[in-house]
């Protein structure tokens, strides 16, 4: 990856239904935008719970499983000022926190132009770490660029064709 430390290893799953809400130990509303969202790098501004964050992510590796990430907290005023520099499109979501099988799952329920899409992410210590999946975790979409938040600002879920949305929302086979 070129950078030591700061490597985010994460798996992502589609979520159907809202059963995760009864398992959640907390939630917060998130607004985020992208100053840069090229395939090899993203620069993100986020507001969450009255706090601002500036995040730089490098290119994905391991089939989308890992990527370099650098994040720093900034003030809410700084974040609001940086939103003026963002590319068109923004993400509005509620993040639900679910503890399951020794892991923390972050379940993002999207609003606005991505309404109807819910995705769960879990961070891992290594790419080979085993995960006990909760019942709400559906089809894995790790590495599928359509589900990157930066992609959803450019091509929101509500702009997808009926067939694409139906494919995403169908129950997982298993």
In three-state secondary structure terms, 36 is strand
Neighbours of 2 (CB within 10 A): 8
Degrees, nearest 5: CA angle 49-53-59: 130
60-66 long-range contacts, CB within 8 A, separation 24+: 60/143, 61/1, 62/9, 62/127, 63/142, 63/143, 64/142, 64/143, 64/144, 64/145, 65/9, 65/10, 65/11, 65/127, 65/142, 65/143, 66/1, 66/7, 66/8, 66/9, 66/10, 66/127
Q: Tokens for 82?
A: 């940086």
Residue of 20, 34, 68, 148 marked active site: 34
Report the distance separating Cα 141 and Cα 14, nearest Å: 7
Decide if 20 is catalytic.
no
**Catalytically active residues, by annotation:** 34
């Amino acid at each position: 990856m070129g950078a030591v430390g700061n490597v985010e290893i994460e798996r992502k799953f589609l979520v159907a239904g809202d059963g995760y809400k009864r398992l959640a130990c907390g939630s917060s509303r998130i607004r985020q935008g992208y100053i840069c969202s090229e395939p090899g790098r993203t620069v993100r501004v986020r507001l969450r719970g009255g706090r601002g964050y500036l995040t730089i992510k490098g290119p994905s590796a391991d089939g989308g499983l890992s990527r370099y990430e650098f994040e720093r907290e900034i003030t809410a005023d700084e974040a609001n000022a940086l939103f003026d520099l963002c590319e068109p499109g923004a993400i509005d979501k509620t993040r639900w926190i679910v503890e399951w099988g020794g892991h923390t799952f972050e379940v993002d329920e999207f609003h606005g132009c991505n309404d109807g899409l819910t995705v769960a992410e879990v961070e891992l210590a290594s790419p080979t770490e085993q995960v006990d999946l909760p019942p709400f975790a559906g089809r894995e979409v790790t590495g599928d660029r359509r589900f990157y938040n930066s992609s959803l600002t450019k091509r929101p879920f509500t702009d997808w064709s009926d067939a694409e949305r139906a494919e995403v929302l169908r129950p997982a086979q298993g």
